[in-house]
Amino acid sequence: METRENAAKTIHLPLMGGQSPILDIDAELAKFEAEERKRLGLEDGKEHWRDEVAKTFKESQRAHTTILVCGLTMAHDLFVEGALTGLGYTVKHLDVPDNNALRVGKEFGNRGQCNPTYFTVGNVVKYLVYLRDEKGLSVEEINEKYLFLTAGACGPCRFGMYATEYRKALRDAGFDGFRVMLFQQQGGIKQATGEKEGLELNPAFFIKILQAILTGDVLNAIGYRIRPYEVVPGSTNEALEHCKRIIHRALSENRSLIPALVETRRIMAGVPIDRTIIKPKVCIIGEFWAMTTEGDGNYGLQKFLEQEGAECDIQLVAAWILFMVWENQYDTRERMYLRGTDNGRKSLKAPAEAAIKLLKLKFADKAVRVIFQSFAYLMGLEGYHLPDMDLIAKEAKDYYNLNVRGGEAHMEVGKLVLTVKKKKATMVLSVKPFGCMPSSGVSDGVQSIITEKHPDAIFLPIETNGDGAVNVYSRVQMILFKARLAAKAEMAKALEETGMTLDEVRELQKLPWLGRTLHHPAHAHQGASASDFVYEAAKWKKRLARLGGAPKKLLQIAASF
């Protein structure tokens, strides 16, 4: 009898008019491996090439070693620096990578990499050159006193090779032996970097990093919500800088974050805004680094969009963390069916093991959400919901195989579908580095069927390669014209449906609870924030009308503040 185990290893080949022969997959694979070994001259048991890590970071070196960090937004990098400083490390966050970093990265990196590698490693090399040429440190001193800490993963896209690429570029730039240390994104807290380590990847490390990332997320989200509607130009950025200093200080002094976050709320609440300004909301999706960075890596896209009169709806790093948890949950469920045949290092040999793992992952998902919402509550990010990863997968699965990984995988497709269906934004902009395999190679192909099915969607995919800014800007400007018209049409519809005028809405904005800077109008199935606000103002107009002459009185009182 053919058991389930055997069935997994054999395939019945279709054969017309007779019994189909059985293909033994294991035997076929072994045969193929033998042939390939012969072809590549590996029959004599030659070892696979390994990327040798030059030196490690020992506990005794901690006092005189500076850890360099960079790669996320300015707020995140600063807060990660603060968090690690609070744990007793000496840390320096580097500037956001610019085109000069890209040039340096390309000079020393391998050909054919995606540009996050070039930008990031170029940024590190640039800093090391500054230490050598302007600070007068020798290469030996730099190698001894500095190291670069970055996130790593096993791919399956080029991301899996980043650390090796960094080491190669650093070697070719004259910093052979410079330490690049990774904490694997999927490895959780069970990792070790070798002997007695200088970098302790313990729960305290990950909790602090999580705090830094989530506070950075919340602060960024507040900033992008407020800035397009500020009444005094520059006031949001000024308030954000103030908040960054406060949070950074609390993190680096290892104090409770609560007072700092409450203070942040007070500062951001003081930025005067006008919520009735009509602006298209642009949801930025795409490859993780390209949509996250705030510099030349995406041609300063967020800033450019705001200058062109749009509101940016950015993706948070928390969504990426939740996606990694979701991937683990999905894979665990898939592996449950491999019990008995799966002899891998992480195989799940008993039903209880799978259940325990799923329980832990569920806890991780909930923990991220609870911490995020607590920070959001304290800092004043109202009405923000982290994405539901199961819903994203459900919406994407008809277009993108959930087993295909790399970059944002199916998430990019799911986000577009949900944004269009739920009218979360006026327009969607998908940004990715030139030649990004998962994003431009796969997602962009899939997105065309989504836009076919939803012809009202305003969608633009753009690729960044460092030197095509003018081209990208003009394409964005053209599509923004369409988005602006859509936002105006939405506003006209909202005013017509509610029977209000814009002046009336402005009057109602004077009500303290509606005019609060941190107040976020409920989503009324409109893309732009201003039209959401019209529907909310209309509800309050009705409520107040029931109180007779009270609205006028209330408005007069509110206006006197």
Rounded to a whole number of angstroms, the minimum distance from the CB of residue 301 to ligand SF4 is 15
Residues 88, 199 contacting (CB under 8 angstroms) = no
| Interface pattern 87-106 for ligand SF4 (x via CB under 6 A) | --------------------
Confirm or reject binding of residue 216 to ligand SF4 (CB under 6 A): no
Rounded to a whole number of angstroms, the minimum distance from the CB of residue 408 to ligand SF4 is 7
Positions 373 through 402 that interact with ligand SF4 (CB under 6 A) = none
Confirm or reject binding of residue 159 to ligand SF4 (CB under 6 A): yes
Q: What SS3 state is found at 316?
A: coil
Nearest CA to 366 out of 318, 405, 333, 411 is that of 318
Positions 287 through 326 that interact with ligand SF4 (CB under 6 A) = 287, 289
What DSSP designation does 525 have? S
Confirm or reject binding of residue 461 to ligand SF4 (CB under 6 A): no
Per the rule left: phi > 0, alpha: psi between -120 and 50, beta: everything else, 128 is alpha
- Taking the C-alpha atoms of residue 369 and residue 477, their distance in angstroms, rounded to an integer, is 36
Residues 164, 51 contacting (CB under 8 angstroms) = yes
Which residue shows structure tokens 């729960």?
203
- Taking the C-alpha atoms of residue 215 and residue 121, their distance in angstroms, rounded to an integer, is 26
Confirm or reject binding of residue 407 to ligand SF4 (CB under 6 A): yes
| Interface pattern 410-449 for ligand SF4 (x via CB under 6 A) | -----------------------x--xxxx----------
Distance between start and end Cα atoms, the chain: 84
Tell me the backbone φ, ψ of residue 48, rounded to 5 degrees.
Answer: -65, 145
Amino acid code (one letter) for 315: Q
From 56-64, 94-102, 155-163, 547-555, give the range in contact with ligand SF4 by CB under 6 A: 155-163
Sheet with strand 90-93: strands edge to edge: 90-93, 66-69, 146-152, 179-184
121 versus 268: smaller Cβ distance to ligand SF4: 121
Among 158, 179, 244, 279, binds ligand SF4 (CB under 6 A): 158
432 versus 484: smaller Cβ distance to ligand SF4: 432
Rounded to a whole number of angstroms, the minimum distance from the CB of residue 156 to ligand SF4 is 9
Rounded to a whole number of angstroms, the minimum distance from the CB of residue 137 to ligand SF4 is 31
Confirm or reject binding of residue 121 to ligand SF4 (CB under 6 A): no
- Taking the C-alpha atoms of residue 187 and residue 46, their distance in angstroms, rounded to an integer, is 29
Among 109, 216, 223, 406, binds ligand SF4 (CB under 6 A): 406
86 versus 286: smaller Cβ distance to ligand SF4: 286
Residues 322, 363 contacting (CB under 8 angstroms) = no
Total binding residues toward ligand SF4, as defined by CB under 6 A: 14
- Taking the C-alpha atoms of residue 332 and residue 267, their distance in angstroms, rounded to an integer, is 44
Confirm or reject binding of residue 116 to ligand SF4 (CB under 6 A): yes
Binding site for ligand SF4 (CB under 6 A): 114, 116, 157-159, 287, 289, 406-407, 433, 436-439
